[in-house]
Amino acid sequence: MSGLLIEDLRVTIGTAAGPVHALRGVDLAIPPGTFLGLVGESGSGKSLTASAVLGMLPEAATVDAGRVLLDGADILKASRRELRRIRGSQVAAIFQNPVATLNPLIRVGDQIAELIRIHRGAPRRRAAVEAVDLLAAMGIAEPRRRARQYPHQYSGGMAQRAALARALACSPRLLIADEPTTGLDATVQAEVLALIVDRVRAAGASVLLITHDLAAAAQVCERVAVMHDGAVVEQGPTAQVLTAPRDPYTRSLIDSYVLAVDGDTPVEAR
């Protein structure tokens, strides 16, 4: 199938205390144009699953079984050269700390323009213009001036917008958003999520949203998958999973989230 397909992915991490079975038969499918939320507690395997899709598993990781297919090609079998081509042009990512993912020594506009030149072969001047246009499209005021600045000169919300501009510079077919709004205030969180929806849907791409925030998943995603202890325990349409969960862990996750919000407010699935 086209899109992303993860089949029976099993990954072991070597530690001083012995091997840890970090992913235990993960199955996920994200057809083109679909937004899927991958939710669960810290340590459940969400980010490790994303690392597998990006071809960036840690050195201590061993893939015991499974496939990670992006438009039919197995990322786990790709060479380093093929992975460099895939990242950015086919799959891109934004993370919880955008400042850490941007090169602190290179101006933001130059980082975006470099990707446009590498993956699309655009001339230097045109790439620079497109970088400014992308920053403007992300709602960054004075984009020409901001393009000449360094990441440390950006606020957290603005840096996440810049990271999103960089991720979308080459029109990837899949965007991985790993806790993209954690640490941002509520207003900026809503703005960043709205940007992801608007820009990615306009491009016809897919999103894998990794989050512990059930409300964010409900706001953005048509489908949701719940991870626990390295496995997907439940997945389906967002409203169905969040309002009528079948798995006991999913029910406990929703109950604990509701209590953490204010004790009474239900999770709204849209």
112 lies in a domain? yes
62 lies in a domain? no
Q: Which domain holds residue 117?
A: 101-171
249 lies in a domain? no
* Reported pTM: 0.90
88 token code pair: 């950015």
Rounded CA gap, 182 and 212, in Å? Answer: 9
139 lies in a domain? yes
116 lies in a domain? yes
70 token code pair: 């992006």
110 lies in a domain? yes
Count: domains in the chain:
1
114 lies in a domain? yes
Cβ atoms within 10 Å of 61's Cβ, excluding its own: 18
Q: What is the pLDDT along the chain (270 residues), one digit of tens a residue?
A: 689 999 999 999 999 999 999 999 999 999 999 999 999 999 999 999 999 999 999 999 999 999 999 999 999 999 989 998 898 789 999 998 887 789 999 999 999 999 999 988 999 999 999 999 999 999 999 999 999 999 999 999 999 999 999 999 988 999 999 999 888 888 888 999 999 999 999 888 999 999 989 999 999 999 999 999 999 999 999 999 999 999 999 999 999 887 554 444 434 433
Contacts of 27 (CB under 8 A, 6+ apart): 6, 7, 8, 9, 232
Tell me the helices (H) and strands (E) count for the chain, helix number first.
11, 10
What are the strands, taking DSSP E only, across 16-72?
18-30, 35-39, 61-70
